[in-house]
Amino acid sequence: MTENTHDPIIDTASAWLAQDPDETTRVELDTLIRDAAAGSEIALDELHARFDTRLSFGTAGLRGRIGAGSARMNRVLVSQAAAGLAAYLRAREHAPSVVIGYDGRTNSDVFARDTAEIMAGAGVRAVLLPRLLPTPVLAFAVRHLAASAGVMVTASHNPPKDNGYKVYLGGADDGSQIVPPTDGDIAEQIERVARDENVLELPRSTSFEVADESVVDAYVAATSALLPRDAEQLSVVYTAMHGVGWETFSRVIESSGYSGIASVAEQQEPDAEFPTVSFPNPEEPGALDLSFALAREVGADLIIANDPDADRMSIAIPDAESAEGYRQLTGNEVGWLLGWNAARAAAATDVSGATLACTIVSSPALGAVAKEYGLNFVETLTGFKWVSRVPGLVFGYEEAIGYLVNPDAVKDKDGISAGVAFLAMAAEAKREGVTVAQMLDGFTETFGFFASDQLSVRVTDLSLIAALMAELRDNAPTTLGGVEVTQVDDLRDGSSDLPATDALRFTLADGSRVMARPSGTEPKLKYYIDVTGPADQSEKARAVLASIRDDLDAFSTRVAER
């Protein structure tokens, strides 16, 4: 410790401490304040890390590490968010209502109850879901209960120490996540509360409602309808990834009269510590190791994995060439098959205005499917808040393992209904003597060869991302992978079909495509590479993909080393 002049951050932290209702974060913050006041540079730096900024409320709501401070997730921040959202809703309509859900992460139930009490205290009809449940059930409940809004307390597949706060809107928004300018309007109200109010003095009420089981029953009924009761039986391994998916998924399966589901016991029940995975995301290396082991033991035909709040879904299939005996499909591969299945169904029933949609960083293969079946095709900005709003949508997906297969029930990605829909598709294929791997081969034979890859350039200096994007704009590559770049679209200023976003799209002479954009959640620039070619020239296309990746890597390295 060294003698220190008084830093104003100590006063800021002390003011926060005075309105913190949580004993755990109060003790944590009080210790930091005392140590900083006594001269600890480490404590002072930590206070600056927690209070120099504030978790911003955007289209993804709030998300961050749990702890004391304006830059962390805690009861003060959540109370301010709830009060701000309540004010927004009351200004929007005469008698607003909100339904609130929560998952199994640390403090999810506490944050949800705080929200319910503050909403009720502000005169908003508040309905709390009966227990921890998947995000898709909350998204379903917004429409099912005709609520003005929905709040889901979850950090989805973020690291274990994180939590978050996701907002949906009913009415004309039809249960979709918020988009601009709504996020900015809500953020203004939250900032007003943070500036002018003490959260301990906010009106609270315990007169909120607790929804009964009929909401969950309705979701189960809507989702189980995706799986025919006479579906061919497959041996399936399922993992909830220590999240909240198992109870709801198993109820849906049982309601369909289906058996043969083996759950990964070590990951079946909600556990906020996520003890068997280093990162609770099915896409992460090692996350499916226990699923692979169980699948080998039972000889599974299919592995279905949800992320912790069950809004995402991943698939793995038998593969004799893999060391694990199974191969995890990419998000695009799953999207192709589900999209193909949805297109066939829409074409067979002649659905007027039927549309397939995916994000701009997902594979363009879905467009080929739509064209083949005479359907509309729309590409949106990244995020399901955009996909879910596409008119006439019958299926939508994003390559980050998010799928919307039942838009009449849920206007958001739904890992449970997607898992059920994939199981139904695989079961029907098995009845016809076809495996999932053969279905993928059939896709290539029908629509051509498509392959995708990503390259992430992680940085410690955020200014480097801006430098990379500037260089890509000012000195765009004229060739990539030995193929001419024929067109460069700068999406920063918006276009006729997309709102403005910081992204570049490179179109190559052979139909390949590269998207470049800064990550919205991590300090890195991401390249999304998609190549295509005739079914009989897959090796050539793979070589082009690898060469494009090498060129982008070399380009980024040169800029970074300047």
Q: Where are the alpha helices (DSSP H) in 388-511?
A: 415-431, 436-447, 463-474
Q: CATH number for the 53-212 domain, one of 3.20.20.70, 3.40.120.10, 3.40.50.2300, 3.10.50.40?
A: 3.40.120.10
What is the rounded distance in angstroms from the CA atom of residue 291 to the CA atom of residue 255?
A: 24
Q: Which amino acid, 124?
A: V
What is the rounded distance in angstroms from the CA atom of residue 548 to the CA atom of residue 531?
A: 9
- Position 9 scores a pLDDT of 97
CATH topology classification for 216-447 = Alpha-D-Glucose-1,6-Bisphosphate; Chain A, domain 3 (3.40.120)
> Does residue 156 carry a catalytic annotation?
yes
Which strand (E) or helix (H) includes residue 189? Answer: helix 182-196
Q: Which residues contact 293 (CB under 8 A, 6 or more apart)?
A: none
Q: Which of 156, 176, 224, 291 is labelled catalytic? A: 156
What is the rounded distance in angstroms from the CA atom of residue 472 to the CA atom of residue 555?
A: 9
Tell me the pLDDT tens digit for each residue of 330-339.
Answer: 999 999 999 9
Positive/negative CA dihedral, 150, 154, 158, 161: positive
Q: Which amino acid, 333?
A: E
- Domain extents in the chain: 53-212, 216-447, 448-560
Q: pTM for the whole thing?
A: 0.95
Tell me the pLDDT tens digit for each residue of 186-202.
Answer: 999 999 999 999 999 99
Q: Quote the percentage of the chain above a pLDDT of 70.
A: 98
| Intrachain domains 53-212 and 216-447 with the same fold | yes
CATH fourth-level superfamily of 448-560 = Alpha-D-phosphohexomutase, C-terminal domain (3.30.310.50)
Per-residue confidence of the chain (562 residues) as pLDDT tens digits? 444 468 999 999 999 999 999 999 999 999 999 999 999 999 999 999 999 999 999 888 999 999 999 999 999 999 999 999 999 999 999 999 999 999 999 999 999 999 999 999 999 999 999 999 999 999 999 999 999 999 999 999 999 999 999 999 999 999 999 999 999 999 999 999 999 999 999 999 999 999 999 999 999 999 999 999 999 999 999 999 999 999 999 999 999 989 889 999 999 999 999 999 989 999 999 999 999 999 999 999 999 999 999 999 999 999 999 999 999 999 999 999 999 999 999 999 988 899 999 999 999 999 999 999 999 999 999 999 999 999 999 999 999 999 999 999 999 999 999 999 999 999 999 999 999 999 999 999 999 999 999 999 988 888 899 999 999 999 989 999 999 999 999 998 766 578 888 999 999 999 999 999 998 767 889 999 999 999 999 999 999 999 999 999 999 998 887 7
